[in-house]
Amino acid sequence: MRIFSKTLSNPRRLLFCLCAGLLLSWFTLKGTGLHANLDLLCQLHRILSTEADLLSQHSNSTGTNSHLSHLKDVKLPRILYTKSDVFNPQRTDVLTVTPWLAPIVWHGTFNRHILNTQFHQIDVRVGLTVFAIKKYTRFLNTFIESAEKFFMVGHKVNYYVFTDRVNEIPNFTFAKGRRLVVLEVPAYERWQDVTMRRMEMIRDFSIKRFVKEVDYLACVDVDMVFLDEVGVEILSNVFGALHPGFFEKSRNEFTYERRPQSSAYIPVELGDFYFAGGYFGGVIEEVIKLTNYCHNAMMADKQQNIEALWQDESYLNRYFLSHKPTKILSPEYIWNNYYGSPAVVKTKRFLGIDKIYDEVRF
Ligand code: 4GW
Ligand code: MN
C-alpha cells in the first residue's frame, strides 16, 4: 500500500508503471494471439494433409524443418465430389486394406481428383527408375511414350534411365516439368546380376542424386507399357505391388525362397502377400533402406554361394515381411496377360510386354 501511494505521488514513477503495465499487457495479448494463430495453423495443417508423411517428407526435401513452413501460401481449393458412404463400400470383392492398415489400391477405391489436388499442393516430384541394359534398350520407346500418356499426368516427373548403351537412348518430347536423365552404369555378365544389381544402383544414386531431386521414387521393369492412368494414388512412404500370378494364392503356393540358408528365406507359416520384383517405391529414405537391405542380403548369400530363387524379387519379399509396406498396389499396376483377365482386375494399367526370349537373352 505504501509503495502504491508513493508511486501515485511521484509522477515519474507513475509514468514508469503505466509504461510497464502497457508493455506487459501488450505482450500477453500478443502471446495469446500468436497461440491462437498457431492453433489455427495446426488445425489447417491437419485438414489439408491427407498423408502426414507426405508433407513432412516434402518439408525435408525442400530443406526446411518445420511442418508449418508449408502454410506460408496455403490455398483452399474447392473440390466437388460425392460423399463417401460408410454403408456402401466401393469394393466388396477384394481386400482393400491390410491388417496393418495399409490401403490396397484397386480401381474404384479412390478419387484421383482429390488426390491430385493434395499432391499439387505440395508440388510433388516423382522419380521413375528403369533399367535398359544390353538389348533391353528396345523397350524404352514404348515405355517412355506410354508413361507420358499415363504416368503421373500433370505432375513433375524425372525418368531415370540406367543403361550401358547411352547412345541407343532415343529422343523424346516431354510435357512441362518432366525430363529424362540417362545414367550410365555397367552391364553385368550374368542376366541374374543385371536384375539383382538394380538394388545397389538405385541405392547409390538415391543417396547421391535422387534425394536432392525428387520426393518419391517408383522403381519398375522396363519391359512394360502403360495402358491406363498410374498417378499419385501409388505414392506412400514405402509401397509394393501384388504379383499378378499370386494374389489369389495361399501362402504355401508363394514362390518365396524356402531354403533356410538363404537370407531371403521365408518359412511356409509366414508371409502376407507375394510381391512383384518389378514394382516398388516410396520416399527416398525408405527406398534407400529397402535397396540397401536387399543388396546386402544378396551379397551375404553370394558369399555362401547361394542365390535366391527369384533373385531380387525374393529379397524384396523378405524385406516386406519385416518392413510392411504402407501402401500396396493391386495387380492392375503390374499385370501380365499370361494371367488372363479375371473379373476383379477392372483395368490393366501397366502391362508386361511379351518378350521373344531369343531376341533379348544374352
Ligand atoms: C535373360 O536373358 C534376361 S536378360 C533376364 C533379364 C534380362 C535383363 C533385364 C537385361 O538384359 N537387361 C535389363 O535391363 N534388364 C532389366 O531388368 C530390365 O529393366 C528388366 O525389365 C528387368 C527385369 O528383367 P525382366 O523384365 O526380364 O524380368 P521378368 O521376365 O521377370 O519380367
Ligand atoms: Mn519384366
CATH assignment of the domain containing 150: 3.90.550.10
Question: Is 91 domain-assigned?
Answer: no
Q: If you ran DSSP here, which 8-state letter would residue 279 be given? A: E
User: Is residue 168 within 8 Å of 247, Cβ to Cβ?
Assistant: no
Clarify whether residues 112 and 210 are in a common domain: yes
Taking the CA atoms of residue 168, residue 173, residue 177 and residue 182 in that order, the dihedral angle to the nearest 10 degrees is 0
Q: Does any ligand 1 atom lie closer than 6 A to the CB of residue 312? A: no
Give the other-Cβ count within 10 Å of 198's Cβ. Answer: 25
Clarify whether residues 48 and 184 are in a common domain: no
Clarify whether residues 13 and 114 are in a common domain: no
Residue 355's pLDDT is what? Answer: 86
Taking the CA atoms of residue 283, residue 131, residue 248 and residue 258 in that order, the dihedral angle to the nearest 10 degrees is -90
Question: Is 97 domain-assigned?
Answer: no
Ligand 1 centre distance from Cα of residue 296 (Å): 21
Clarify whether residues 192 and 286 are in a common domain: yes
| CA-224 nearest atom, ligand 1 | 21
Residue 76's pLDDT is what? Answer: 81
pLDDT tens, the chain, 362 aa long: 344 444 445 655 544 545 454 444 444 434 333 343 343 334 434 433 434 444 455 544 444 455 566 666 777 888 999 999 999 999 999 999 999 999 999 999 999 999 999 999 999 999 999 999 999 999 999 999 999 999 999 999 999 999 999 999 999 999 999 999 999 999 999 999 999 999 999 999 999 999 999 999 999 999 999 999 999 999 999 999 999 999 999 999 999 999 999 999 999 999 999 999 999 999 999 999 999 999 999 999 999 999 999 999 999 999 999 999 999 999 999 999 999 999 999 999 999 999 887 788 77
Ligand nearest to the CA of 138: 1
Residue 26's pLDDT is what? Answer: 45
Residue 272's pLDDT is what? Answer: 98
Which of 148, 233, 307, 313 is the catalytic position? 313
Ligand 1 centre distance from Cα of residue 81 (Å): 42
Residue 66's pLDDT is what? Answer: 57
Question: What's the rounded Cα separation, in Å, for the pair 2 and 258?
Answer: 90
Q: Which residues pair with 130 in a beta bridge?
A: 161, 220
Q: Which of 59, 76, 92 is the last residue of a domain?
A: 59
Clarify whether residues 52 and 164 are in a common domain: no
**C-alpha cell recorded at residue 22:** 502497457
User: Is 332 an annotated catalytic residue?
Assistant: no
Question: Is 94 domain-assigned?
Answer: no
Question: Is 85 domain-assigned?
Answer: no
Clarify whether residues 29 and 152 are in a common domain: no
**C-alpha cell recorded at residue 104:** 490396397
| CA-195 nearest atom, ligand 1 | 17
Residue 110's pLDDT is what? Answer: 98
Question: What's the structural domain count of the chain?
Answer: 2
Q: Does any ligand 1 atom lie closer than 6 A to the CB of residue 350? A: no
Q: Does any ligand 1 atom lie closer than 6 A to the CB of residue 222? A: yes
Question: Is 109 domain-assigned?
Answer: yes
Clarify whether residues 49 and 184 are in a common domain: no
Clarify whether residues 44 and 146 are in a common domain: no
Helix H or strand E segment including 131: strand 125-132
Residue 207's pLDDT is what? Answer: 98
Ligand 1 centre distance from Cα of residue 179 (Å): 24
Question: Is 168 domain-assigned?
Answer: yes
Question: Is 126 domain-assigned?
Answer: yes
Could you give the 3-state DSSP secondary structure of residue 106?
coil
Clarify whether residues 291 and 346 are in a common domain: yes
Clarify whether residues 51 and 169 are in a common domain: no
List b or e across 47-62, with b for residues whose CB sees 16 or more CB atoms inside 10 angstroms: ebbebebbbbbbbebe
Clarify whether residues 146 and 47 are in a common domain: no
Question: What's the rounded Cα separation, in Å, for the pair 315 and 195?
Answer: 12
Residue 70's pLDDT is what? Answer: 63
Clarify whether residues 205 and 301 are in a common domain: yes
Question: Is 88 domain-assigned?
Answer: no
| CA-277 nearest atom, ligand 1 | 31
What is the tens place of the pLDDT at every residue in 165-187? 999 999 999 999 999 999 999 99
For 23, the domain range is 2-59
